[in-house]
A = this chain, B = another copy of it.
Amino acid sequence: MFKISKESKKSEARLGVLKTKSGNLKTPFFMPIATRGVIKSLSYQDIENLGPQIILGNTYHLYLKPGLKIIKKAGGLSKFMNNKFPVLTDSGGFQVFSLSKIRKLLTNGVRFQSTYDGSWHLFTPEKVMKIQSVLDSDIQMVLDVCSDSRSNNRKLLKALELTTKWAQKCKREKKKLDPKNKNLLFGIVQGGLNKELRLKSLSDLVEIGFDGYAIGGLAVGETNQEMYKVLDYISSAMPKDKPRYLMGVGYPENIIEAVKRGVDMFDCVIPTREARHGRLYLKNKFYPAPFSSKKRCGVYKTINIINAKFANDFSLINKDSKLEELKKYNKAYLHHLFKVQDPLALKLATLNNIEFYLDLMRNIRKAIAGNNL
C-alpha cells in the first residue's frame, strides 16, 4: 500500500507512494477540501485544471446533506460530484465536537444536533464506517473523540481510551463492509500535548493495526512550538512503513516543519477559507528554495486583494500560474469582483490558493529528492 522511495539526508522527511483504488499518491501531499461535495465554487473542470492528487470530503456534512440515500444512488461521492481523483473522508468526529453546540458523549458513540436543522443524530464507530462505505472514499478515518489539547490528563486519557476502543470497532466494521480491503483505513492518535498519553494512544492503535496513522487534536489553538514538540516525538515513534497524516495543518511553514519531522499527508481549510476573505498566496522571488522555518518560510507572501491599493493595480493576478484565468485577469479586476461581491471573485481566489499549495508540495517533494529539505 505504501512504499518509501527516498529518505532525506537532512531531516526525517521522506518521499513515498501511497496506493489507493483510484490512483497512486506521491507523498508528501496536500488535500484540498470539498466539504459539501464541492470545493467551494469550483466545478470538476476547475479541479481537473488544478490537478490535485486527492481531495477530502467531510462525512458530517455529506451525511446531513444531501444524505446517504442520494450519494448511494449516485454510486459514491466521486460519482456524485463528477470527481476523478482519489478521495479521503474524515469520520465526522471533529465536526461533531466543533460544530454541534449540543452533543452527548456516550460509550458507544456520540449523539449530536445537526448544524443545519437541529435534528438529532447518533454517530457510532459502526455508523461512520457505514457512511464512509457509501461515500466509497479511498481513505477512511476512524471515529475519534476530539478533546481540547489543554484538557486535564484525566480527561485526555478518557478520550484516548474511548478513541482506541472505537478504532477497534471501526476496524471490525470496515472488515465486514469492505472484505477485500479496497479502501484504506487510518487510525487517529489523540492525547493532547501530553507525551505519555500520545505514545500510549499510538501504541494502542498500532496494536490494532491500520493502513496509516493520523495525528489528531493538533492545530486547535496550541502554539506552533507546542505542535512541533508533539511532532518531534510522535512522528518518529510512528511505524515507518505507514503513511503519517497530520490533520488540519496548516500554513505553508507548518507543513514544511511537519514534513521535516516525517509527516506525509496534510489537509487544511486555509487556502480555501482565506480565499473567501480575499487573501491570496503568492510566491516571492526566492520561491521555491531554500525552505526556511521562519514565518512564511522565506518563499511566499500573502496579499489581501480587497485592500484599496489593488483597485488601481493592473498587474496580473498571478503571472506564474498555469491557469489561464489567473494569468489573464488583473488584480484591479479581481479587487472589483470582491467589491461587488461577484461569485467569480471567490472562484479565482480559491484557484490561486489551491494552486499555490499544490505547487508548494511539488517543490517540497523535489527538495526531498535533492536532499535539500
Query: What residues make up the interface of A, taking CB atoms closer than 8 Å to B?
Result: 36-38, 40-45, 61, 65-66, 69-70, 73-74, 80-82, 311-312, 314, 324-325, 328-330, 332-333, 335-337, 339-340, 342-344, 346-348
Check B347–A37 contact: CB distance below 8 A.
Answer: no
Write the nearest CB–CB distance from A328 to chain B, whole angstroms: 6
Docked Cα-Cα span, A43 to B333, in Å, equals 11
For this chain, the copies found in one complex come to 2
Contact of A336 among B37, B42, B45 (CB under 8 A): B37
B residues near A69, Cβ cutoff 8 Å: 312
Docked Cα-Cα span, A96 to B270, in Å, equals 41
Write the nearest CB–CB distance from A83 to chain B, whole angstroms: 11
Q: A65-B336, A66-B332, A82-B333 are in contact. Are A314 and B74 (CB under 8 A)?
A: yes
Check A337–B82 contact: CB distance below 8 A.
Answer: no
The 5 closest A-B pairs by CB, nearest first: A343-B343, A41-B343, A36-B340, A66-B336, A38-B342
Contact of A36 among B40, B80, B342 (CB under 8 A): B342
Q: A311-B66, A314-B74 are in contact. Are A45 and B344 (CB under 8 A)?
A: no
Check B324–A45 contact: CB distance below 8 A.
Answer: yes
Check B332–A74 contact: CB distance below 8 A.
Answer: yes
Docked Cα-Cα span, A45 to B347, in Å, equals 13
Check A41–B344 contact: CB distance below 8 A.
Answer: yes
Question: Which chain B residue shows the least CB distance to A341?
Answer: B36
Check B325–A70 contact: CB distance below 8 A.
Answer: no
Question: Which chain B residue shows the least CB distance to A61?
Answer: B340
Docked Cα-Cα span, A344 to B44, in Å, equals 10
Question: Which chain B residue shows the least CB distance to A35?
Answer: B340
Question: Which chain B residue shows the least CB distance to A40?
Answer: B342
| Residue contacts A-B, CB under 8 angstroms, 16 given | A36-B342, A37-B333, A38-B340, A40-B343, A41-B347, A43-B325, A43-B348, A45-B325, A66-B335, A66-B336, A70-B312, A73-B312, A74-B314, A74-B330, A74-B332, A81-B333
B residues near A329, Cβ cutoff 8 Å: 43-44, 82
Check B342–A41 contact: CB distance below 8 A.
Answer: yes
Check B42–A344 contact: CB distance below 8 A.
Answer: yes
Docked Cα-Cα span, A40 to B41, in Å, equals 13
B residues near A333, Cβ cutoff 8 Å: 37, 74, 80-82
Write the nearest CB–CB distance from A119 to chain B, whole angstroms: 15
Check B43–A344 contact: CB distance below 8 A.
Answer: yes
Contact of A43 among B312, B330, B347 (CB under 8 A): B347
B residues near A73, Cβ cutoff 8 Å: 312, 314, 332
Contact of A311 among B43, B45, B70, B337 (CB under 8 A): B70
